[in-house]
């Protein structure tokens, strides 16, 4: 299947360099203003997502009357017995005295630090799958009456609907693209394990850089979700080049480089068809696809951007992609040991090719990297661990 003759490249101006625009977060803030007209005691509303694959609860979006938002918090659902019980029972929990009724945890400690004293919590389900939790928090004791809890039900339904719609849309984008890729290629040009590793390496870096770069949890979630689409344009590269068991010659390499504008065209068409133009999802997807092969000294492709011109998501996925490529076998090379990979990444950062802060953020997470490499090892490597 040859797509490259009909897919046009985007111009350099199509790389989105503006700060990410919030999606669900802005909707939640609008709903919070409406909630306040009906249940005035609500000082904070928060949505926490549940990752079925890892069992983690991850803060996603929140709206509060002050600036104190907990960001980038992760905890295993199994480590929070009260929420685990709620997930099983599918009921709403009302806490009238957080200091008295909550056991010590990072989340409850944050709530107490910011003077929240009452809470209403409801699990959110997509079919039979736990998608997350919705929290209403108040800064006074015994804030929520039975009438308040009833009043919040319709808002809970609305917020849950918006959250699940965003979740289905984002996952649908990934699933649809991957189906197209699987149909268009005779065999994998990237293993599923490679794509999983890229996603989790990217998340490690984004979380580490969140405070210094002002990243929202929603942005981090989309970065993790869409980073596996970085090379989606390879669907349009001829098999004799894409699947060549060795290094490409100069002419073949020039053809291979076309996968970036092809990928941008795919993302542009998807964004137009799904009404995502100008959204946070589109921005993250497009910047990942468009800039993960750029290098800080201007030697990358397709636009020859320098470091300050490359969006953060492109710099993050570039580091994840290089780290994974060196760490694993390829048709033209054996895998490198971790010390050699770390040395090479630092050398590339010193030359200004890769973002040093991204490199150090990934390399500092020694245990997390090792866990990801083991959990999502390619088949032959996994056999080595058996």
Catalytic residue check, 2? no
Q: Distance between CA atoms of 79 and 266, rounded to whole angstroms?
A: 41
Q: Where are the beta strands (DSSP E) in 65-184?
A: 74-76, 93-95, 118-126, 129-138
| Residue appearing with tokens 């409850």 | 108
Q: Distance between CA atoms of 248 and 18, rounded to whole angstroms?
A: 35
| Residue appearing with tokens 């397709």 | 302
- Active-site annotation holder among 58, 139, 234, 373: 234
Closest CA to 2 of 316, 250, 237, 262: 237
Burial category of 6 from C-beta neighbours within 10 Å (exposed 0-12, middle 13-18, buried 19 and up): exposed
Q: Cis bond leading into 301, ω under 30°? A: no
339: alpha, beta or left? (left if phi > 0; alpha if psi -120 to 50)? alpha
Contacts 24+ apart (CB under 8 A), 177-180: 177/229, 177/232, 177/266, 177/270, 180/235
Closest CA to 203 of 376, 369, 375, 21: 369
| C-alpha to C-alpha distances, 194 to 28, 53, 265, 285, 303, nearest whole angstrom | 34, 16, 23, 18, 26
Neighbouring residues of 109: CB distance < 8 A, sequence distance ≥ 6: none
Name the residues annotated as catalytic: 234
């Amino acid at each position: 299947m040859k797509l490259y003759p009909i897919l046009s490249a985007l111009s350099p101006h199509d790389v989105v360099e503006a700060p990410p625009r919030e999606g669900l977060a802005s909707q939640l803030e609008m709903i919070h203003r409406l909630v306040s007209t009906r249940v005035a005691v609500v000082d904070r509303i928060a949505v926490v997502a549940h990752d079925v694959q890892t069992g983690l609860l991850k803060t996603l979006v929140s709206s509060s009357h002050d600036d104190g938002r907990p960001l980038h918090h992760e905890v295993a659902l199994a480590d929070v017995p009260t929420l685990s019980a709620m997930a099983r029972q599918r009921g709403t929990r009302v806490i009238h005295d957080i200091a008295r009724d909550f056991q010590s945890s990072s989340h409850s400690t944050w709530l107490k630090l910011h003077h929240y004293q009452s809470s209403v919590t409801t699990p959110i389900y997509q079919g039979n799958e736990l998608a997350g939790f919705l929290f209403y928090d108040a800064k006074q004791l015994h804030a929520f009456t039975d009438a308040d809890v009833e009043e919040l039900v319709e808002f809970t339904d609305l917020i849950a609907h918006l959250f699940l719609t965003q979740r289905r849309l984002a996952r649908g984008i990934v699933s649809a693209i991957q189906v197209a890729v699987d149909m268009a290629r005779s065999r994998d040009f990237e293993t599923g394990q490679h794509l999983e590793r890229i996603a989790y390496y990217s998340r490690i870096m984004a979380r580490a850089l969140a405070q210094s770069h002002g990243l929202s949890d929603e942005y981090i979630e989309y970065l993790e979700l869409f980073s596996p689409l970085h090379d989606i344009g390879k669907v349009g590269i001829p098999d004799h080049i894409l699947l060549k068991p060795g290094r490409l010659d100069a002419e073949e390499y020039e053809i291979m480089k076309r996968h970036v504008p092809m990928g941008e065209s795919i993302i542009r068409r998807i964004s137009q068809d799904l009404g995502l133009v100008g959204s946070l999802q589109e921005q993250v997807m497009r910047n990942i696809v468009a800039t993960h092969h750029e290098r800080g000294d201007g030697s990358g492709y397709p636009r020859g951007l320098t470091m300050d011109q490359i969006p953060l998501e492109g710099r993050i996925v570039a580091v994840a992609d290089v780290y994974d490529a060196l760490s694993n076998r390829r048709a033209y090379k054996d895998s490198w040991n971790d010390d050699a990979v770390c040395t090479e990444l630092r050398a590339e950062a010193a030359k200004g090719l890769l973002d040093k802060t991204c490199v150090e953020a990934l390399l500092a997470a020694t245990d997390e990297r090792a866990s990801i490499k083991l959990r999502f090892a390619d088949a032959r490597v996994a056999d080595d661990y058996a």
